[in-house]
Structure 1
Amino acid sequence: MSELGDYLRQLRGTMSLREASQRSHGRISHAAIAQAEKGINSHGKPFTPSAETLKEFAKLYNVSTAKLMKMAGYIEKSSDLPSNAIPVSSEEADQPVMVYGEIQAGVAKWAEQDIIGQINVPKSFAKRYGAKNLFALKVDGESMNREIPNGYTAVFSKDLEPESGDIVAVMIDSESATIKRFRETSLAVMFEPSSWDPSFKPYVFPKDGIQDFKIIGKFLYATSECI
């Protein structure tokens, strides 16, 4: 059993494989959990979970994604990345996604439509969400630094319907764009910051007023990969 497999087995504790799968809402099959713990696939060959599966394990057991990534060998153990960052390995990184001009995680500003580069995303993401639905934006600002560090590249899907609580890229006043956490109540739609700096304020759109915004993408993950 590998270091990662041993750690995953400890995290599962007294839960059965089937119970752990159910608690992941079916995102990780009980067979995949068993293979990850043993480090061997159904054909008896060495097995390492994909980046996306490790993210689901992190959610299931409430642990750091970065820690699991380090154990799996996707990133160097000396690397210091936030828990929501998903580094891309050379084996997984085979689907290029265009990166558009910087989007400000702070005061909304115009999102430049010029392509400034590209990054590679895990092929599992491209398969799951559809390569044509993925786009990336370079983050510039500190209003979301609890979730996405300034300077990181944020990957979005433009085809997913966001739910209240999701992080989104949103156009404000038809001319500016920003990243915020989407909240919806019976009275208003809000786009909230998630920052260590309390000076950042939410955008609030009462439902009986003008709804001058457009959500352009649902946040999937952030990466420090160079463009």
Structure 2
Amino acid sequence: MLRFSGGSSAVVLVALAVLAVLATGCGGGADTAGEKAPTGDSAKAGGASSSGKPAAAGTVDFDTVFTTEERFKRALPDPASMAGWTPKRAGADIEETPKPAAECGADTHWDCTSVADGDANFEEVGERALFDLVAYADKKAAQDACRKEKDWSAKYSKADVPPVPGVESHAYYRNAGGLDGLDLTMCLGTVIAQVRLEGGGSTLDPATAHSLAQVFVPRIQKAAAS
């Protein structure tokens, strides 16, 4: 079962089949994959602003603020776009009263000022792929959080994941809770998007992280333009 929670305390249970419907009904069908995830031209640069117009200079950029469950559903990978992977869970949490930057301060966690977040998790032969999307009230807040996250992650070993065109990104290997993982963080528009590989059967292959990012980024762009 998949959980999508909104701005109140209510919890909405969504069957896995709903995401399959969203793949066609919400523009996700064009992102279907082969084994694990597609590569190639699926993640060409050229973002969308809140008006739906392409961003300048091939940069993935937009002013859209992600504060609805529907927008997260469109942005997060679904079973149709992750052929070969088994969906485990997905959800979104919209903050009723986001914290202002002044209240968060300079030393707090990088997601302190976020207005919403969502995630979708998949498994394939002992390997887990986790997609996280953290939304902010505007691009400046997102950029500030991106800088803070990059400074925070500098203590970890760098992973050589090829960049997605037009997207600022960095990747690193991380051990958390006794579980090794590879984290790819991408900063675009008003959000921070992360792809994580982990699991006992995972090789933590940078190429896999890159191909998954090429599934994720176009979906975020479409959700921002919708």
TM over 0.5: no
Structure 1 length-normalised TM: 0.28
Structure 2 length-normalised TM: 0.28
Q: Which has the larger share of helix?
A: 2
If asked which structure has higher relative contact order (CA below 8 Å, sep 6+), I would say 2
